[in-house]
Structure 1
Amino acid sequence: MALAGQGKTKATVGYLDIQTTGNQSLAAIVPVEIEGKFLYWWLSSQYLTLRNLSSQDGRDGLNLEMIGNIVCPVPPRKTQRRIARFLDEKTARIDALIEKNRELLNRLAEKRQTLITHAVTKGLRPDVPMKPSGIDWLGDIPAHWEMLPLRRVSRRVATGRTPASANADYFADGVLNWFTPGDFSTSIELHESTRKLTPRTIRDGVCTLYPAGTVFLVGIGATLGKVAVSTTAGSANQQINTILPNKNNDPYFMAYFLHGFRAVVRTISNSNTLGILNQDGTKSLVVLVPPISEQKEVASELRDYDSRGAGVIEKIERSIELLQEYRAALITAAVTGQIEELV
């Protein structure tokens, strides 16, 4: 077995069916007086306990001494094998159900993406005259729509900022939303941030408070291209570009358009390992501009679709969550002798 000793995967365990080697962040565990699969399931049940362990010198990682001191129950060999077989079979069924639910979520996301892309490039009326956009990823667009760089349809494009974390006056008892990439979800709206700022950050000019209806676009990292509209006034960190549309541009239509072409946004970001879409790059993004009434119509249709689908998605996500909880509880019950038929 291999047990991860540090980082995001700390305390995760893998059962190895092949000969292999590992780097210094893994502990190799070779079972001798215990069934390997039983030990695997026992260690899996102890994930949270192991993850919370730290060494006496304050380091967060697991060392060999700590792993060697882990106390594990050792029932008779036959019982160990029976428990291991039981968990192999039961968890395989649970995992299959979880995977089916995840596939369903993926299909719903793909359907949503297709609908958004079509609506923000073709509109809602199939019989309108079309014209070539001259851009491969846009194709033909309604003849009465314009194509403009984002700077032409915005009152302001700016980049968020991060206050000095050492200054408690900027964070303690904060009440103002301060959005970071971690606050984005699949929703087209941003309601609440995890961390808050105090009004002093605005008074000191450390951060800017953007009004409700501002479009927030992640400009760096794994979530580059994620986009949402703020429903309340809020600020943002330096990983986010903020766009305040002018009066002839609807923020929701703009956000849906950028969402529909997130892959393009990611492609045109600075070509380095991390990927960065800076303020100038954001201003240069080409967007489609229908008449404002049509923008609102498209945005309203897409928001209604999202509203109808939100309940379905929530149920599927809750189903996955319950299956994962049941899986964890089943493993714990089995390896601690709480299932009578196994002991």
Structure 2
Amino acid sequence: PYADQVDPIFLYWCLASSLTKGYWLTASFGVTRVSIPIGTVARLPVPEFDCDTQRKIARYLDRETGEIDAMLAQLQSLTHKLQERVRTVQTRAVFGLAESAGHRESESHAALAGIPDHWERTKFGYDFTESAERNGDDPAGPLLSISEYRGVELNTRTDGQQASLDVSKYRVVRPGQLAANMMWLNHGGLGVSSLTGYISPDYKAFWISDRFEPRYVHHLFRSSRYIDYFAAISTGVRPNAQRVTKTVLDATPVPLPPIEEQIRIADELDEATARVDAMLAKVADLKSRLLERRAALITDVVTGKKAVA
């Protein structure tokens, strides 16, 4: 149809459908920055419907996708609440706080406020030793990443950070070591690994002294109190690139409960996070199904496969 015969909202839904995605893929060119010639955009195939039908389709999709989007927003909110709940439970447990203890702004600068009197205190640099091990000519394992929520895991992403062809200088991480993205500590970018592999050369890996239970360490540094603390001591211009220097990290105060208490706390938190992880997996599956339903609905309607009353 001619431009004056196409409803703009109908055109929007055509562009949002899988009908046009294949067209964009075949028409685009470039490697790092994909471009689509303006002439190619002008030749975009649009299903032919009369203007009244186009408006009906547009109104129908506005309404139906709006309902799906509302459900997706609720699921996203539930995801955040579950994750925050884990952070809250973690913080109370790893610092030995009473359930009634609330968050205070001063805790961003006094990380050990309120810990039990019988717990010892140490500093990061006393009990965490940086590992200098690199891949060399023989990678120790697969590429690993540090998830904001899950910690150290296999890097299965097809976008974002990928290893270069030469991984000889990448840092090796071994089970029981603490791996840290020094520019993402204020977002939970660290965790104790259960895997052998390698991470970005810009990250760090630390051996943990035998005074600590590694699982306790994992929950400790990923607690909301330490995330706030790392935000307070980090430096940088960009909000999402705030670095904590090794010198400052070494001076970070760390609680040192008796080892039997560390094991008990770790057991409790492992169980609690496993329950939440199971709920999060169900939420993620439902979100995926809703997104698939949304995409299929748009395509079916704009192509006429599904009639609109």
Q: TM-score, normalised to structure 1's length?
A: 0.75
1:149 Cα offset (Å):
1.4
Q: State the alpha-carbon separation in 1 of the partners of residues 23 and 124 from structure 2.
A: 49
Stretches of structure 1 that go unaligned for 5 or more consecutive residues are 1-29, 127-132, 164-168
**Would you say the 8 A contact 2:175–2:195 is kept in 1?**
yes
Residues 92-139 of structure 1, C-alpha deviations (whole Å, 9 max, x = no match)? 11111111111111111121111111111126899xxxxxx9954542
Q: Deviations over 1:39-60 (max 9, x none)?
A: 0100011463355255567661
Q: Distance in 2 between matches of 1:220 and 1:303?
A: 26
Counterpart of 1:32 in 2: which secondary structure?
A: helix
**Which residue of the other structure, out of 306, 309, 329, is the alignment partner of 2:273?**
306
Moved segments of 4+, more than 6 Å: 159-163, 195-198
Deviations 1:238-277 (A, max 9, x none): 3322121101111221121111121221331123322112
1:176 counterpart = 2:141: yes
Is 1:193 matched with 2:134? no
Which of 189, 192, 216 does residue 226 from structure 1 map onto?
A: 189
Contact 2:10 2:57 in 1 (8 A): yes
The answer to whether structure 1 residue 33 and structure 2 residue 5 are counterparts is yes
| Alpha-carbon shift at residue 221 of structure 1 (Å) | 5.1
- The answer to whether 1:144 aligns with 2:118 is yes
Deviation at 1:159, TM superposition (A): 7.2
Aligned counterparts of 1:149 and 1:51: Cα–Cα separation in 2: 54
Determine which of 249, 268, 272 is the counterpart of 2:237: 272
Alpha-carbon distance between aligned partners in 2 of 1:237 and 1:231, rounded to the nearest angstrom: 17
Which deviates further from its counterpart, 240-249 or 276-285?
276-285
Instruction: Give the CA RMSD over aligned residues.
Output: 3.3
My pick for the range that moved more, 224-233 or 251-260, is 224-233
> Shift in Å at residue 63 of structure 1?
3.4
> Structure 1 159/321 Cα, relative in aligned 2: closer, same or farther at 3 Å?
farther
Q: Which residue of 1 aligns with 2:219?
A: 256
2:181 partner amino acid? V
For 2:125 and 2:72, the matched residues in 1 are separated by: 44
What aligned pairs does 1:1-150 form with structure 2 within 5 A after superposition? Answer: 32-46=4-18, 48-49=21-22, 52-53=25-26, 55=28, 60-122=34-96, 136-150=110-124
Aligned length: 292
Q: Aligned in 2, Cα 1:218/1:51: closer, same or farther, shift over 3 Å?
A: farther
TM-superposed CA distance for 1:162, in Å, is 8.7
CA distance in 1, matches of 2:43, 2:135: 43
Q: Distance in 1 between matches of 2:73 and 2:299?
A: 22
Q: Describe the shift of the 1:243–1:80 C-alpha distance in structure 2 as closer, same or farther (beyond 3 A).
A: same
| Paired residue type of 2:307 | E
Partner of residue 287, structure 2: 320
Q: Which has the higher contact order (CA 8 A, sep 6+)?
A: 2
Unaligned runs of 5+ in 2: 101-106, 157-161
Residues 214 and 245 of structure 1 are in contact (CA less than 8 Å); yes or no, is this contact kept in structure 2? Answer: yes
Q: Is the 8 A contact 1:180 1:240 kept in 2?
A: no
Residues 262-301 of structure 1: CA deviation (Å, up to 9, x unaligned): 1221331123322112332332222111111111111111
2-structure distance, mates of 1:256, 1:56 = 45
